[in-house]
Structure 1
């Protein structure tokens, strides 16, 4: 995207900038490259610095309900310290490393409704100007993709995905938010849970997987949530379907969350080892004065997929068109806020 808003303190004729990302989706922990194209204004200007910000749309739960906003989760200075002549064209190449826990925005090329962007900040003569957002596409790591496909093969269906402000206690979470991928239950588990939520926390040494089950209540018992945490290496050669099926069974066996009252994402204690420990907590979905939990992009827009499977549903194009529209609206709204 090109932004040509003038630096207000410089008056008419300031420099303009256009950041262009190299084509293709990036990987968490991988490189993001591109070019920052500058065009000089009606006079010479000193370029103090060119900074790229990684921005995410994040949801936050609070006592009055739920809200969403943009969160900057990384900044990189990619150039500066030079003079841009009148009318001069200059390109500044960059190659930066994405955080390992950068959220996944797509699966097999189909968007999940997660909004990420790269925003360019140009500092000229002591004044700073933030441009509009360039959409950032991130595909899953091989282990993440294998786990999602295994869930699809087991019969889980894709429901929605969002980013939640907060921290999962006892994990290696590095960012101020975490990604939840919400799935409808496979037919064989439909009588035991309402929904399955998957969170990936990647690092250079491997992948943490946090599974949360919104479990159904019985005739004399209330419904509750249960969580488990597992780890795999990035290069693990696994029978993924068997492994993931074992995780689900272990998750559903945990009953310790009855009576616990610590919300997930806000200090839930971790109990157990890296291959089968669990968190005990009261559902974070109804901890905020009865406010309903709205999951998924924007004002509750969900990406729908059939019960035939996660990967099939997403790759099959069963993605709500309004999600794609909403991504553009968010970028435009952010630019208006800056104005």
Structure 2
């Protein structure tokens, strides 16, 4: 729930907005519900529309190195035109469905370090758009994701960091312009051969693509190098599989192969290019032009100043 905020774009005496989420907790593919509460100011206004946007901070690799950018990856209109009278109070209910590829930000009820995600409310009046209310949300893993995360923990992997990387994974269908990397330090039984492991989920209504990148230690006559594995896992298998055994198999394959081979279900080994063939190529592959906000300079880092204050 955000604090009631005056919509500064509309001048002194303008309306204020307060977005109240039924719950800040959600999951990929699940609904997010609540109300946008408006209070009229000192004069009547004609509202053109009210919209909600999901906002994330993403790491982008450019010519001068990696930098953080902030942008929208989902937008929905929750109300069309309406007249808001002086001092009038209006509550607009909403329900939006969180995209299946939305990254996980909370595991076992705890915030995943490195992840920041929120829903922002926009109110448009007379061609002026105020990016008013902002609320943090917690995206919990789906059952299949949770079982795989549990397996890494049971095997002794230590969580290091999580972030969002701008780009496309080679050979994996993505609808969002970024993917999540969950980084782990290896336990003792793998540490002789692996520096760290990066886990990525790319989810759709039926399956989860599990992509693993292993930073392998070099030998006496060879430098360190990366090994990759990609596996397609049905949601229905969440509670019918020994996931610690499966994950252990994936890791041991990486120890013996430069390029990982399948170890479960419909998986097939596949390297992934984090940033694809360059900025232009990545944009072409993103459905609906959602990458435009990241490339066109529409960064909104000031939005996350509020997150840091509320967290």
Does TM, scored on the shorter chain, surpass 0.5? yes
Which stretches in structure 2 are left out of the alignment for 5+ residues?
Answer: 276-300
Query: Contact (CA 8 Å) 1:6, 1:16: kept in 2 or not?
Result: yes
**Structure 1 unaligned residues grouped into runs of 5+:** 258-269, 285-328
Displacement of 1:272 in angstroms is: 11
Counterpart Cα distance in 2 of 1:277 and 1:330: 42
| Residues 101 and 201, structure 1, Cα contact 8 Å, conserved in 2 | yes
Partner of 2:35: 35
2: distance between equivalents of 1:83 and 1:144?
A: 45
Question: What's the offset of the Cα at 1:256?
Answer: 4.4
Instruction: Classify the secondary structure of the residue corresponding to 1:151.
Output: helix
Following TM superposition, the consecutive aligned residue runs of length 4 or more in structure 1 with deviations greater than 4 angstroms are 270-274, 280-284, 329-332
For the pair 1:46 / 2:46, whether they are aligned, the reply is yes
Q: Contact 1:226–1:278 (CA<8 Å) still a contact in 2?
A: no
Q: Give the match's secondary structure for 2:170.
A: coil
Shift in Å, 1:172: 1.9
Residue 250 (structure 1) shift: 2.0
Q: Is the 8 A contact 1:229 1:275 kept in 2?
A: no
Residue 24 and residue 56 in structure 1: after superposition, are their counterparts in 2 closer, same or farther (change >3 A)? closer
Does residue 126 in structure 1 map to residue 127 in structure 2?
Answer: yes
Q: How far apart, CA to CA, are the structure 1 residues paired with 2:84 and 2:223?
A: 66
Q: For the residues of structure 1 that align with 2:274 and 2:37, how far apart are their CA atoms?
A: 48
CA contact (8 A) 1:226 1:281 kept: no
What residue is the counterpart of 2:108 in the other structure? Answer: 108
1:218 corresponds in structure 2 to: 219
Residues 72 and 111 from structure 1, CA distance in 2 versus in 1: closer, same or farther, beyond 3 angstroms?
A: same
Deviation at 1:126, TM superposition (A): 2.2
User: CA-to-partner distance for each residue in 1:209-240, whole Å, 9 max, x for gaps?
Assistant: 00010000000011100111001111211111
- Measured in 1, the distance between the counterparts of 2:268 and 2:242 equals 21
* Mapped partners of 2:272, 2:202: distance in 1: 20
1:173-215 CA-partner distances (Å, limit 9, x unpaired): 2110000000000210000100000000110111110001000
Deviation at 1:331, TM superposition (A): 4.3
CA RMSD of aligned residues (A): 2.5
Q: TM-score, normalised by structure 2?
A: 0.83
What is the aligned partner in structure 1 of residue 253 from structure 2?
A: 250
The alignment's TM-score, normalised by the length of structure 1, stands at: 0.77
- TM alignment of 1:1-339, pairs within 5 A: 1-8=2-9, 10-113=10-113, 114-236=115-237, 237-256=240-259, 275-280=266-271, 331-333=303-305
Q: In 2 relative to 1, CA 330–127 (structure 1 residues): closer, same or farther, beyond 3 Å?
A: closer
Instruction: Determine the C-alpha separation between the residues in 1 that align with 2:195 and 2:135.
Output: 36
SS of residue paired to 2:269: strand
Q: 2:18, 2:133 within 8 Å by CA — same for their partners in 1?
A: no
Q: Distance in 1 between matches of 2:165 and 2:7?
A: 34
